[in-house]
Amino acid sequence: MLEMNNDLVKKINELKAMRKAVILVHNYQLGEVQDIADFVGDSLELSRKAAKTDAEVIVFCGVHFMAETASILCPDKKVLLPDLNAGCPMANMITAPALIEKKKEYPAATVVCYVNSSAEVKAESDICCTSANAVEVVNSLDSNEILFVPDQYLGHFVSTRTSKRIIFWPGYCPTHARITPEDIQRAKALYPRAIVMVHPECRPDTIAAADEVLSTGGMVAYIHGTSAKEIIVGTEIGFIYRLRKENPHISYIPVTEQAICPRMKLITLEKVLCSLEEMAPEVKVPEQVRLRALGAVNKMLAIGRK
Ligand code: 13P
Ligand code: SF4
């Protein structure tokens, strides 16, 4: 198995150089895929990398909306998603026509759209956010009324950190919704000195039971600076691979083994190699949609630069 992987990795690296490609990998990907990355990160960090790369091809090891965001930012590059079935179920909980209807109910609201959404939905939104900057994005806006789509739980988390009125969309992440306060209590009973970190896609009662609420990028930064010896991790469990690799002296306890995103696991070394061989499957956002979605993505990216 190890030898087979070595062989695959060698071929991937050769083809990557030949194609002038960069491999961007989300924190929830399989460990073997994280290991071949040029960069591993959260959604915000990956969009920033995509926007800046001078590679000709971006192999996106993540889910469909992430590859679309890369295509929105880099129309001249070829963006490959090694398995087109790798879609985010939450992103599919909203469509552009449904959002257009909702906007009619709240004509004065500013639409803040979590990046976990299609390019068409971004095109109907005023500004995007990720879990790393959602509070900052909402608080940067002039409007006091925010239509926050599609993640109701991230929206709820933001509402606890802003005075603005938030209108929620009923979407949610099925992976993070599986993490319950009871799971936290069970883990805490076994590891009473551990710090509990959860992702803001978790339910409000789960968030209330945690010590820290952070995006995956925020968790990495927190762990680099902590003196804690045990951390209970309340997010997709693939992320623990990276944490163990970077800070092996800490014990990481998954809050529940059920927190797996099956779509993230569809990307394998074999599929990465295949995508580089065939230069497919490609994700390309149609220009008309791209130009409208670009405004919302760029407004978000500009916020961190102020
Ligand atoms: P971050 O990458 O912002 O931590 O979000 C997690 C996620 O669920 C991406 O789909
Ligand atoms: Fe979507 Fe949740 Fe999977 Fe992230 S973890 S890709 S939000 S289903």
Q: Phi and psi for 291 in degrees, rounded to 5?
A: -65, -35
Distance between CA atoms of 238 and 232, rounded to whole angstroms? 14
What confidence category does residue 304 fall into, taking pLDDT thresholds of 50, 70 and 90? low
Kindly state if the Cβ of 173 falls inside 6 Å of ligand 2: yes
Ligand 1, closest atom to CA 130?
3
* The pLDDT value given to residue 3: 72
* The pLDDT value given to residue 306: 46
pLDDT tens across 259-302, in order?
999 999 999 999 999 999 999 999 999 999 999 999 999 999 99
pLDDT reading at 2 higher than 80: no
pLDDT tens across 103-132, in order?
999 999 999 999 999 999 999 999 999 999
Ligand 2, closest atom to CA 62?
6
Based on its alpha-carbon atoms, the radius of gyration of the chain, rounded to whole angstroms, reads 19
Distance between CA atoms of 207 and 180, rounded to whole angstroms? 9
pLDDT tens across 235-251, in order?
999 999 999 999 999 99
pLDDT reading at 1 higher than 90: no
Which ligand is closest in space to the CA of residue 265?
2
* DSSP character string of 229-249: SEEEEES-TTHHHHHHHH-TT
* The pLDDT value given to residue 175: 98
* Token pair recorded at residue 139: 């608080």
Report the alpha-carbon angle 81-263-126, nearest 5. 70
Residues with Cβ < 8 Å from 287, sequence gap 6 or more?
Answer: 75
69 C-alpha to ligand 2 centroid (Å) = 15
* The pLDDT value given to residue 305: 53
63 C-alpha to ligand 2 centroid (Å) = 8
- Cα 75 to Cα 152, 168, 289, distances in angstroms: 31, 32, 12
The pocket around ligand 1, CB under 6 angstroms, is made up of: 42-43, 88, 116, 130-132, 173, 201, 215-216
Mean pLDDT of the chain, nearest integer: 96
Ligand 2, closest atom to CA 236?
5
Kindly state if the Cβ of 26 falls inside 6 Å of ligand 2: no
* The pLDDT value given to residue 27: 97
Distance between CA atoms of 292 and 113, rounded to whole angstroms? 13
* The pLDDT value given to residue 4: 72
- Cα 188 to Cα 184, 234, 260, distances in angstroms: 6, 12, 20
pLDDT tens across 16-40, in order?
999 999 999 999 999 999 999 999 9
Q: Which one has a higher pLDDT value, 198 or 304? A: 198
Kindly state if the Cβ of 175 falls inside 6 Å of ligand 2: yes
Ligand 2, closest atom to CA 91?
1
What confidence category does residue 44 fall into, taking pLDDT thresholds of 50, 70 and 90? confident
Residues with Cβ < 8 Å from 182, sequence gap 6 or more?
Answer: none
Protein residue closest via CA to atom 3 of ligand 2: 261
What confidence category does residue 49 fall into, taking pLDDT thresholds of 50, 70 and 90? very high
pLDDT tens across 133-188, in order?
999 999 999 999 999 999 999 999 999 999 999 999 999 999 999 999 999 999 99
